[in-house]
Amino acid sequence: MTEARLRQPRVSGTVRIVGSGLLGASVGLGLRQYGVDVVVTDASRTAAQLAVEYGAGREPEASDAPVLIVVAVPPDAVAEVVAAELAAFPDAIVTDVASVKAAPLAELEALGVDLSRYVGSHPLAGRERGGPISARADLFLGRPWVVCSRPELARAAVSLVEGLALDLGAIPVEMDAVAHDESVALVSHTPQLVSTLLARRLASATDAALGLAGGGVRDVTRIASSDPALWVQILSANAATVASILRAYRDDLDEVVGALERIDEPGSRRTIAETLAGGNAGVARLPGKHGQDRRFASVVVLIEDKPGQLGRLFAELGELDINIEDFRMEHSPGAQIGIAEISVVPEMLARTVEDLTERGWRIAG
């Protein structure tokens, strides 16, 4: 029996998931770990069957009486589907997991729908690839899950959605719809466009240049492989706010371009230096491992390019009782070694380097 099944879920009763893509199927997989009865449905019967076969839930039955409905459909279909689910299941609380919240809420209000059982929400989690085949039960682990409370909502309805987030290992964050959309415009929607614009430059690059690509360009362009059709919907629903941020970004970019074009003029290098320092300050404000609200030390280990080496490294770190706080792997095509960057708490840095060196690992730096 898994650890999840030993714990009592906060959400009990049947949960109906409408939409069997990455988020919907991941919700199903996560809840099924607790033995929760999950129903999966989708406009695409093939997608729904695939999610069921992967273990995200079962097919609907006429007698289903869900206590909670999770709408996991594209943003431009959210309002229509939420309205239909509220009408079809008058005793259920309905939430959605779309990455924009104000537009669907406004559309539902315009339709005159009774929204006393609707609680908008958004898990800040995802992958570059979609569909049930990419779903993971641990997708939401440790990630924020925004729950959009409204004054007229019963506390029990909000608590049920927060319970869903907690069952899936996420961290509930209460926020109104407008504040949510403004926030994700900055930390999610604009980065998607910036990553995409840089990745477009790679399309016409020479093979020789691409062969030099390392962790930097891969990190910045990772999300550029996301689904264009989905992102057109997301950006359309949050267009004005994203455009405002991009205008400020364009102003910064113009200033740097001007400094580079006049690099030997007084003040140009200072402009570039202050821009870079501003980036340092922004990263420092990010919470968690990649920002500096909590600091970690890095150990860079050189790994031979042969089977089993990464597994051996992880196994030996476990034997040494060294907890990996974060991990990044870099390997260039044709290279005989890979670079594993391991983040540990600062007080473990010296021992990690010493113990790994004693076991024959090569440490860079």
CATH of residue 244's domain is 1.10.3660.10
39 and 140 share one domain: yes
Give backbone dihedrals phi and psi of 72, rounded to 5 degrees, phi first: -125, 65
192 and 141 share one domain: no
Q: Domain containing 338 — which CATH number? A: 3.30.70.260
Which whole number is the average pLDDT over 302-307?
Answer: 84
72 in Cβ contact with 126 (< 8 Å): no
Q: In this structure, is residue 292 part of a structural domain?
A: no
72 and 155 share one domain: yes
**Cα separation of 47 and 54, whole Å?**
11
128 and 55 share one domain: yes
Burial 129-156 (b: 16+ CB within 10 A, else e): ebebeebebebbeebbbbbbbeeebeee
Q: In this structure, is residue 159 part of a structural domain?
A: yes
Q: In this structure, is residue 282 part of a structural domain?
A: no
Out of 175, 196, 226, a domain closes at: 175
Copy the structure tokens of residue 120: 């908008």
Element holding 303 (H helix, E strand): strand 297-304
Q: Domain containing 84 — which CATH number? A: 3.40.50.720
List the Cα angle 200/206/212 in 5-degree steps. Answer: 90
237 and 309 share one domain: no
Lowest mean pLDDT of 93-102, 181-190, 270-279, 312-321, name the range.
312-321
pLDDT digits (tens, 9 = 90+) for 72-96: 999 999 999 999 999 999 999 999 9
151 and 68 share one domain: yes
Identify any residues that bridge with 363 across adjacent strands, giving them in sequence order: 301
pLDDT digits (tens, 9 = 90+) for 145-181: 999 999 999 999 999 999 999 999 899 999 999 999 9
Listing DSSP states for 109-132 in one string gives: HHTT---TTEEEEEE----SS-SG
Is pLDDT at 314 greater than 50 in this prediction? yes
Element holding 57 (H helix, E strand): none
Task: Report residue 133 CA to chain centroid gap.
Answer: 17
Which whole number is the average pLDDT over 276-288?
Answer: 86
Flag whether the pTM goes above 0.85: no
17 and 87 share one domain: yes
For residue 32, give the amino acid letter: R
Q: What pLDDT is stored for residue 1 in this prediction?
A: 40
pLDDT digits (tens, 9 = 90+) for 66-78: 999 999 999 999 9
Give backbone dihedrals phi and psi of 353, rounded to 5 degrees, phi first: -60, -45
pLDDT digits (tens, 9 = 90+) for 322-338: 888 778 777 655 556 77
Q: What pLDDT is stored for residue 86 in this prediction?
A: 97
The half-sphere exposure of 11 on its side-chain side, counting CA atoms within 13 A, is: 34
Q: In this structure, is residue 284 part of a structural domain?
A: no
35 and 132 share one domain: yes
Torsion of CA 269, 272, 275, 279, to 10 degrees: -120
Out of 213, 241, 261, a domain closes at: 261
Q: In this structure, is residue 39 part of a structural domain?
A: yes
Q: Average pLDDT, whole number, for the chain? A: 90
Lowest mean pLDDT of 207-211, 289-293, 329-333, name the range.
289-293
Q: What pLDDT is stored for residue 48 in this prediction?
A: 94
Q: What pLDDT is stored for residue 54 in this prediction?
A: 92
75 and 162 share one domain: yes
List, in order, residues 6 or more apart from 188 with CB less than 8 Å away.
99, 124
Q: Of the candidates 315, 245, 318, 316, which has an alpha carbon nearest to the alpha carbon of residue 282?
A: 245
Q: What pLDDT is stored for residue 336 in this prediction?
A: 67
Is pLDDT at 289 greater than 70 in this prediction? no
pLDDT digits (tens, 9 = 90+) for 5-21: 556 889 999 999 999 99
**Cα separation of 177 and 155, whole Å?**
17
Which whole number is the average pLDDT over 265-290?
Answer: 87
Q: In this structure, is residue 286 part of a structural domain?
A: no
Out of 211, 240, 261, a domain closes at: 261
Alpha helix (H) ranges present in 222-308?
228-237, 239-261, 268-284
**Cα separation of 294 and 286, whole Å?**
9
Q: What pLDDT is stored for residue 344 in this prediction?
A: 85
44 and 189 share one domain: no
DSSP-derived letter for residue 324 is -
Element holding 352 (H helix, E strand): helix 349-358
Is pLDDT at 2 greater than 50 in this prediction? no
pLDDT digits (tens, 9 = 90+) for 188-207: 999 999 999 999 999 999 99
Q: In this structure, is residue 279 part of a structural domain?
A: no
Q: What pLDDT is stored for residue 333 in this prediction?
A: 55
Q: In this structure, is residue 308 part of a structural domain?
A: yes
Residue 71 — left, alpha, or beta (φ > 0 → left; ψ -120 to 50 → alpha)? beta
**Cα separation of 34 and 6, whole Å?**
8
**Cα separation of 27 and 123, whole Å?**
10
160 and 52 share one domain: yes
165 and 200 share one domain: no
16 in Cβ contact with 36 (< 8 Å): no
Number of domains in the chain: 3
pLDDT digits (tens, 9 = 90+) for 94-132: 999 999 999 999 999 999 999 999 999 999 988 767 788
What is the residue range of 329's domain?
297-364
Copy the structure tokens of residue 91: 């005793």
What is the chain's length?
365
* β-strand pairing of 297-304 with 337-344: antiparallel
Copy the structure tokens of residue 281: 């300050």
